Amino acid sequence: MYIVTGGAGFIGCWIVSELNKRGIKDILIVDRLRKAGKYRNLIGLEFEDFIDKTDFLTKIQGDHFSFKVKAVFHMGACSSTTEFNADYLMRNNYQYSKDVALWSKSKDARLIYASSAATYGDGKQGYSDQSEILGLKPLNPYGYSKYVFDLWAHKNGFLNEIVGLKFFNVYGPNEAHKGDMRSVVKKAHEQILDKEEVSLFKSHNEHYKDGDQLRDFIYVKDVIDIILFFLDHPEINGIYNVGTGQARSFNDLVKATFLAMDKKPNINFIDMPLELRPKYQYFTQADTNKLRGSGYVADFTSIEAGVADYVKNYLSYT
């Protein structure tokens, strides 16, 4: 059995889809479907069973599963960078992950879990997955909840046996349920349909022009390819960045969206809320040397190609 926590979520449902393409259907999906429309991500997928997250936790804490577990993809978490209930985040992202890790180890199952680039904080210490974990300073409770699990896994020797993936800015199909956390591509597409213009935050940093704030945008299909690479190579473990290693601007991303919709770019710049300015990142870029050194050699999808595929093949704009 393969277990995918967050299996109805953005990345989780793509993992299930790709496992299905390999002929794998012995999959247990763990999730909650409270958000409107999230269930749609499961349509067309084949899996053995679905279980609510709370029930899953109860069962693994009591060791009630008797089947053999091949691998656990732990993607289930609160992924909102604007969630400030730290107690909730520590329960949902930290303690939950500990329970999953300990149970996976007891079952001798391959564990691949979602960390986050948010653990790097403002980036002043760089974005290297080969640097010292202890020195990082996340900017928000979400980043901290991911960071402390990385620390726990490191201190307890788990990183010699499992894989933690620090996702950068992932975009692509099946993210509609994420609300305000959906990608800029999805938001831009909606704004273009509504008023044929896109609003981006002005820069409040003299080193960056409006819209030229930089992010490492990575297409979800590339993310899944990396995840399955680590499934296929159980001898490779540790924490790895999941980004392209090439930062691009929000202007580039939005212009690619207009182009994919056969429309002329029309970008409006608005003031950034005061509460966001002290914690805003103007630049993120994954250091991919460790990933490449592990043997992963596939090319990454450019934002022009990724956005075109997303918009033309998955989003309706007619």
Quote helix, strand, coil % in the chain, to nearest 5: 40, 15, 40
CATH 3.40.50.720 spans which residues of the chain?
2-170+216-246+287-293
Integer angstrom CA distances of residue 271 from 200, 224, 251, 253, 268: 9, 35, 16, 19, 10
Q: What are the pLDDT digits (tens) for 190-229?
A: 999 999 999 999 999 999 999 999 999 999 999 999 999 9
Tell me whether strands 198-201 and 267-270 are parallel, antiparallel or unpaired.
parallel
Q: What is the pLDDT of residue 180?
A: 85
CA–CA separation, 213 and 72 (whole Å): 36
Q: What is the pLDDT of residue 318?
A: 46
What fold, for 2-170+216-246+287-293?
A: Rossmann fold (3.40.50)
Q: Which residues of 253-274 are buried (b: 16+ CB within 10 A; e: fewer)?
A: bbbbbbebbeeeeebeeeeeee
134 Cβ contact list (under 8 Å, min separation 6): 151
CA–CA separation, 94 and 237 (whole Å): 20
Q: What are the pLDDT digits (tens) for 127-148?
A: 999 988 888 888 888 899 999 9
Q: What is the pLDDT of residue 275?
A: 86
CA–CA separation, 182 and 163 (whole Å): 25
CA 264-268-270 angle, 5° bins = 165
User: Is residue 136 a contact partner of residue 120, using CB atoms and an 8 Å limit?
Assistant: yes
CATH 3.90.25.10 spans which residues of the chain?
176-215+247-284+302-314
Q: What is the pLDDT of residue 81?
A: 74
> Which of helix, strand or coil describes residue 223?
helix
Q: What is the pLDDT of residue 280?
A: 85
Joined tokens for residue 7:
């299996």
Q: Which residue in the list 105, 178, 187, 202 is annotated as catalytic? A: 178
Q: Which residue in the list 94, 127, 142, 171 is annotated as catalytic? A: 142
Q: What is the pLDDT of residue 134?
A: 80
Verify whether residue 59 is a known catalytic residue. no
β-sheet bridge partners, residue 242: 167
In this structure, CATH architecture of domain 176-215+247-284+302-314: Alpha-Beta Complex (3.90)
29 Cβ contact list (under 8 Å, min separation 6): 4, 7, 8, 12, 16, 42, 47, 49, 50, 51
Verify whether residue 221 is a known catalytic residue. no
Residues of the chain with pLDDT under 50: 318
